[in-house]
Structure 1
Amino acid sequence: MSEQSFEDNSDTNRALQVAKEKTREKARILWQMLVKYSKFDQLSASSEPDIKAPPRQQRHSSTVLTLLSLFPWVLLLTFFSSFFWDFNGLAVAPYGYTLPFEGLLRIISVSGLIGFFTNWLAITMLFKPAQKRPILGHGLIPAQKNRIAYRLAQAVSEDLINPEIIKQKISESGIISRYREQSTRYIKSIIDDPVFREDLKGWVVSYIDEMIANPEIRGAIAQRILRQIEEAVQDKSFEKVALKTYSFVKGQQMQHIIEEALVQIPVSVESGLDKLDSLLDRLPETIDDNSESIEDIVTTLLYKLVNQLNVHKLVEENLRSYDEQHISNIIRNATNEQLRYIQYLGAVLGCIGGFIIWEPLLSISVLGTIFLVILALDQLLFQQSQWH
């Protein structure tokens, strides 16, 4: 490479660096100007309704739960009372069938308490101990935290928010179209402001003027133009002679002539800025005319973005970052009421088991009859609700 070419490249690189710095500075000014005239409240206003958490599905009233919570205490009181009186010596013989009641209170209370405590223990062992203990071991859910995180992440990534479902929902919701229309109105509200247009024109003139006024940038531009001219007339002898003749007549090098012409660009641009108004006037219409293409592009970009996200990994890593107690609390808070029902119903079922222990044949007959009646009544009510 010749010394002249090296110097030319050095000058060009220096001019390019200066141009980048000025462009960044002007870009900051342009952004500040856009923020000044922006109406972000219009853009952020969403027509989507607020999403509220669905109400908890309560199969039973709070009164029933309160009554059930008292049942274990009643059983405990009955158990202690059985040490003082438990139908002592009481028995009946209907139709010649002897029913001894002595010991019934203790059988029922112990069976009910066993049912309650076994359910309580089973539910407690799901969540506690949160930290592994030498003797007590580890709760089932905390011990399987990593496996639970993996399974939940798999379910989410495959069935809930996989890219295909998101693409389908984007298409069905029409959200891209709504936001495109909203953005168009938002842009129109800015560009229709005459003060904004004047500031924008001033910014354009200032940007070009500062670029051309810098001798390094102007020289680099002139040098590039001259090089392109020379390449264009390289095989054209007449044009080449004409350029040299013009330079001789002017008494200047061609590069200086080009630089002088470049100095006039800001004036020419300023006089032609009226065309910017017509361009801004047509901008919303141009966006509307190309709405389908814009929406297709945005949808494709969103799809590619989601498709590149590893949803499984993202969800799993977040769940793994929770400690064991936090995972347990998430599950327990979502099912706390149902778990309490299970505990108390354990006491009720234990009492039923106590009756079966006390008198198997009679208890099974009575309980079977009650169960069939409840089943038939439930089916009848269900059919009536279907008819209505």
Structure 2
Amino acid sequence: MQPKGVLYFCKAERRKERVEDLITILVLVVIGGFIGGLTNSIAIKMLFRPYEAKYIGKWKVPFTPGVIPKRRDQLAKQLGQLVVNHLVTVESIQLKLQDHGLKQQVQKKFNKEWEHFLAQSITISQLSEKFQLDLNPDQVKRMIADKVMEQIRNFLQKSKQKPLQHWLGQTVTETDLEKASKILQDKGIDLLNNEETRHKIEVVIKHYAESKGFLGNMVLSMFSSEELALKVRQLVIDYLRSEDGYRWIQKAVKKEWTNLLQQEVQIIEPLFEKEETQQLLHTMINDNIPVEEWLEKPIQEMVSPFSEQIKEKVLPLLVNQLFAKLLDSVPSMLQQLEVEKMVEEQVASFPTSRIEQIILSISRKEFKLITYLGALLGGFIGLFQAILFIVV
């Protein structure tokens, strides 16, 4: 049997060895965890830093600049392709434009702006000044006159082979023709009662009688030319005033109107092309269009009678046409905007520090977890090394 002192010494040595083993395990676990966490932390930092390449003399320090600064151009290009191919695509934008909720929001915005517009009092002149437009009344009149003349020319050019009946057949009624016949009857009688007309008839009768020689002179010897003119004029006036005369005028008017309707539109083209006709039309338009009054009249006052119709019909139609136009224009708009190139240029122009802030603001928590995971794995590796060291 061993002495008690020897046993006590052996137990003390074993306790000492266990404590040393425990300290070794703890030290290796701490060192492993520290190295693992530090390594991951440095690796994350090296994604962004250093921002620029570092040199010792002419020798470039390895792993400088960081991964993202070094690949920033490639990253910008890849992000541009990502946005165009998977995020801001033609299909995604068109699908959003077809969303009924979006259309309703736009419709509400249009209605709100329309109500706000009606609550104001803005004249056309004030609106033109606001948008720095020079609206001179004389210039506006000329523009309207020129537009009217242009429309008339286009009408004559397109329709010159068509009969006038195509446009005028239903515009003049029997009552209108009767009124025209009555006017011609009255004008004819007024013309015959004119002193100048009486003198003309007298001269014509005198020349006619003189041209007939002896027989004519014999008539003039019995009746003077003045008496004959009075008798002829009175006979014509009495006939025009008679029922038979009125029917004759009415029949003549209807016949001429019917003949006119059978004519082609081109018969009035030479008349329109005359400078006097065009000048007359310009003068009529300038004298009869109250442009000055229009320009000083509030727009709201002019459109208020139609405000409900505009709100219920025009604005919805405008919104629908706007969305339809946008749907058709999305491919060309994206092509012209060059979204891929725009994103690439924007990312490429970002300072690296700004890119680091953006990524860290999104993934800071995940990066911390990666650091902690490195420390945990390092701790397990340290524990494994310690156990292996103790056993061996």
Please say if residues 145 and 286 of structure 2, whose CA atoms lie closer than 8 Å, have aligned partners that are also in contact. Answer: no
> What do residues 200-241 of structure 1 show as CA deviations (whole Å, max 9, x unaligned)?
59999x968423777xx7996898699789976997898689
Matched residues, number: 259
Alignment of 1:1-388 (within 5 A): 90-92=16-18, 100-101=21-22, 103-133=24-54, 134-138=60-64, 139-172=66-99, 174-191=101-118, 195-196=121-122, 199-200=123-124, 209-211=137-139, 253-267=276-290, 280-290=304-314, 293-307=317-331, 308-309=333-334, 310-359=338-387
Please say if residues 103 and 319 of structure 2, whose CA atoms lie closer than 8 Å, have aligned partners that are also in contact. Answer: yes
CA distance in structure 2 between the partners assigned to 1:344 and 1:240 by the alignment: 94
* Letter in structure 2 aligned against 1:142: P
**What is the TM-score with the length of structure 1 in the denominator?**
0.52
TM-aligned CA distance change 1:160 to 1:351, over 3 Å: same
Gaps of 5+ in 2: 1-12, 55-59, 129-133, 165-262
* Letter in structure 1 aligned against 2:284: A
TM-aligned CA distance change 1:331 to 1:235, over 3 Å: same
TM-superposed CA distance for 1:144, in Å, is 1.5
Gaps of 5+ in 1: 1-86, 94-98, 364-388
Q: What is the aligned partner in structure 2 of residue 386 from structure 1?
A: none
More deviation, 181-190/111-120: 181-190
TM-superposed CA distance for 1:124, in Å, is 1.9
CA distance in structure 2 between the partners assigned to 1:131 and 1:143 by the alignment: 8
CA distance in structure 1 between the partners assigned to 2:373 and 2:299 by the alignment: 81
Please say if residues 153 and 313 of structure 1, whose CA atoms lie closer than 8 Å, have aligned partners that are also in contact. Answer: yes
* Letter in structure 1 aligned against 2:44: I
Larger CA Rg, structure 1 vs 2: 2
TM-superposed CA distance for 1:319, in Å, is 0.7
CA distance in structure 1 between the partners assigned to 2:299 and 2:28 by the alignment: 98
Alignment partner of 2:348: what SS? helix
* Letter in structure 2 aligned against 1:281: P
CA distance in structure 2 between the partners assigned to 1:173 and 1:157 by the alignment: 25
User: Relative contact order (alpha carbons < 8 A, sep ≥ 6): 1 or 2 greater?
Assistant: 2
> What do residues 34-66 of structure 1 show as CA deviations (whole Å, max 9, x unaligned)?
xxxxxxxxxxxxxxxxxxxxxxxxxxxxxxxxx
User: Identity rate of aligned residues, in percent?
Assistant: 19
- Root mean square deviation, CA, Å: 4.7
CA distance in structure 1 between the partners assigned to 2:118 and 2:49 by the alignment: 63
Please say if residues 127 and 142 of structure 1, whose CA atoms lie closer than 8 Å, have aligned partners that are also in contact. Answer: yes
Please say if residues 137 and 292 of structure 2, whose CA atoms lie closer than 8 Å, have aligned partners that are also in contact. Answer: no
Please say if residues 219 and 259 of structure 1, whose CA atoms lie closer than 8 Å, have aligned partners that are also in contact. Answer: yes
